[in-house]
Structure 1
Amino acid sequence: MMLKREGKFKIGQVVRHRYYPFRGVIFDVDPTFNNTDEWWHSIPAEVRPRKDQPFYHLLAENEETEYIAYVSEQNLLEDESGRPIRHPEVRNIFGTMENGVYRLRTDMSH
């Protein structure tokens, strides 16, 4: 029997990586791993996550640059710094940030 599982984090939430020095805002979530096996095997075995958990798409940043990251739930922690994310795409998806969570822009349409 398959149990439906809710993600620990939500779209718009600012998070940081458990092991690596980057943080970001969640803009999408996959209920389970949805990337290539090549990508998964490129992760060092000692920190390689399980595939049977939510994976989050982040507008991410580190000290040097901004990029898109794909991170397992087990490797994320809530970012409690209160600092905004500087990634240039943030303003295209999100509006204001309140209590560490960005609100989706209301003027976006599919």
Structure 2
Amino acid sequence: MGTVTNITKAKFSVGDLIHHRLFGYRGVITDVDRNFQLTDDWYEQVAKSRPPKNKPWYNVLVHGSIHSTYVAEQNLMPDDILEPISNPQLKQFFSTLENGRYIRNKPMN
């Protein structure tokens, strides 16, 4: 018998536009972690709603801001506006917005 692994499938992918359920901001996902990857101190200080650490977490560029943030999947929902995100870091990750989804930059070698 093989071992059963409990792999959590992320609901969102890099380039997806999201809306934060609690704080109402829009953003775009730049990276996906299968589970929480920051420190316990960060979690205690920042993750006030105590979302599960064993579910996906996302790095998100926040629309209308110079910031990015780290967000638990339970706090995100798909963005239905599908308009471009304004964040100065955007061009570091993506080349264009197509059909409501950002396309990653091509790697430069």
TM-score, length-normalised on structure 1? 0.86
Tell me the distance in 2 between the aligned counterparts of 1:109 and 1:7.
27
Residue 50 of structure 2 is aligned to residue 51 of structure 1:
no
Moved over 6 A (4+): none
Q: Count matched residues.
A: 105
Cross-structure match for 2:14:
11
Cross-structure match for 2:82:
82
Offset of residue 12 of structure 1: 0.3
Calculate percent identity across the aligned residue pairs.
36
Q: Which runs of 5+ in 1 are unaligned?
A: none
Which amino acid is the alignment partner of residue 72 of structure 1? A
Cross-structure match for 1:73:
73
Q: Which runs of 5+ in 2 are unaligned?
A: none
Tell me the distance in 2 between the aligned counterparts of 1:93 and 1:32.
22
Residue 30 of structure 2 is aligned to residue 31 of structure 1:
no
- Secondary structure of the residue aligned to 2:67 is strand
TM-score, length-normalised on structure 2? 0.87
Q: Tell me which structure has the larger Cα radius of gyration.
A: 2
